[in-house]
Amino acid sequence: MASEGFKPVYVLSGSDGFLQDHYRADIISRVVGQADPQTCIANFDGGDDPELAAVMDELRTLPFLAPARVVLVRNADSFISKNRQKLEEYVDNPCETSALVLIVSSFPGNTRLAKAVKKVGEIFNCKLPDASSLQQWLTKASGKRGKKIDPQSASMLEQWIGRNLAAQNAEIEKLCLYIGDRDTITPQDVSDVVTATAGPVAFALTNAITDGDTPGALKALDGTLKIRGAEFQALGTIAWHLRRALQAQQEIAATGKANLKMPYNQKNAFMGMLRRRSLAKLKADMKSLIDADLGMKSGQNPKSALQELVMALCS
């Protein structure tokens, strides 16, 4: 049995450095608490072909000025392959005063070693999430800070920042500070705070719609529809763009000017779109958006629905 508070074996499976660092830090905190890491952590790199005997010696060394020890093997895929049987035997009867941490690119769950680790230890998934899982990750990241993020805001972050979790975590931190006492991150907050870094695709679609460039908008739309589920992300981006335009046109109607928080060159193009599309026209655009959403959810081909919408918005 492992000592209370930690498990004798942990596996970090996947290549995302942010997740690896996150789980590694959490494990070390669980195992050694406030003890000096230099006295209770042994590091090995599987790329250096460490001897199993050296790793086992570290695992069996009694902790000094710490409740327990951590023995960490990075890039451990080849180390596991070379020593699989011995590692299986160790996991069946692990030391109670040490935690073995293996960082690997993959760790198939159907192996005897994986099944043994599941019984006494813990396996962490360090693979980059897909689009739907990323939005769940963003929701959890916001929740840890006492905030919520609506689905459209999460979709915008996915498109603008991509699957770089370190960058996404930094943006969530900024957004949670920015909204202050409010409890939900909105698309407007994302627009105010976040700078797109996922490449030109992030703005290509809305830029083309702003310019009334039908061929450019259709080309940009095609570029976004590369993965499953991307059609609703594209629809969310268009919805955010239309809401921003509608709000600006309403401000113009009420006060004679719009408070646009965007670079000067983008502001000129955006104002040009507002001159072409009246408040009544933008309200009709919103109805077209709703019709496209309902059509996609009731069986219409998503790409065709979006193409029709984009052409209507550029006309």
Task: Give domain status of residue 286, yes or no.
Answer: yes
In this predicted structure, the answer to whether residue 290 has a pLDDT above a threshold of 60 is yes
Do 95 and 154 lie in a common domain?
Answer: no
pLDDT score, position 196: 59
Do 44 and 140 lie in a common domain?
Answer: no
pLDDT score, position 198: 56
Q: Is 100 helix (H, G, I), strand (E, B) or coil?
A: strand
Q: How many domains, the chain?
A: 2
The CATH number that applies at residue 68 is 3.40.50.300
Task: Give domain status of residue 269, yes or no.
Answer: yes
Do 157 and 212 lie in a common domain?
Answer: yes
Task: Give domain status of residue 1, yes or no.
Answer: no
Q: What tens digit of pLDDT does each residue of 206-254 get?
A: 889 999 999 999 988 888 777 656 777 778 778 878 888 888 888 888 8
Do 91 and 209 lie in a common domain?
Answer: no
Residue with tokens 């629809």: 235
Nearest to 43, CA basis, from 115, 114, 126, 101:
101
pLDDT score, position 307: 92
Single out the residue in 80, 106, 125 at which a domain terminates: 125
Beta sheet of 69-74, edge-to-edge order: 41-45, 69-74, 98-104, 9-13, 122-125
Do 73 and 139 lie in a common domain?
Answer: no
Beta strands, E only, 14-167: 41-45, 69-74, 98-104, 122-125, 148-149
Q: What tens digit of pLDDT does each residue of 18-44 get?
A: 889 889 989 998 898 888 878 899 999
Q: What domain range is 182 assigned to? A: 131-314
What percentage of the chain carries pLDDT values higher than 70?
93
Do 146 and 108 lie in a common domain?
Answer: no
pLDDT score, position 35: 84
Do 159 and 21 lie in a common domain?
Answer: no
pTM of the full structure: 0.58
pLDDT score, position 2: 39
Do 111 and 135 lie in a common domain?
Answer: no
Taking CA atoms, 262 is separated from 100, 191, 248, 270, in Å, by 50, 9, 12, 9
Single out the residue in 125, 149, 184 at which a domain terminates: 125
Cβ atoms within 10 A of the Cβ of 231, count?
19
Do 102 and 148 lie in a common domain?
Answer: no
The CATH number that applies at residue 218 is 1.10.8.60
Do 156 and 263 lie in a common domain?
Answer: yes
183 Cβ contact list (under 8 Å, min separation 6): 146, 147, 148
pLDDT score, position 3: 41
In this predicted structure, the answer to whether residue 103 has a pLDDT above a threshold of 90 is yes
Nearest to 104, CA basis, from 132, 130, 124, 76:
76
Do 177 and 223 lie in a common domain?
Answer: yes
Taking CA atoms, 252 is separated from 1, 77, 229, 239, 244, in Å, by 69, 61, 36, 20, 12
Single out the residue in 88, 103, 125 at which a domain terminates: 125
Task: Give domain status of residue 3, yes or no.
Answer: no
Whether residue 65 contacts residue 35, with contact meaning beta carbons closer than 8 Å, is answered with yes
Do 137 and 113 lie in a common domain?
Answer: no
Report the range of poorest mean pLDDT among 10-19, 143-152, 240-249. Answer: 240-249
Report the range of poorest mean pLDDT among 2-6, 56-60, 196-200, 300-304. Answer: 196-200
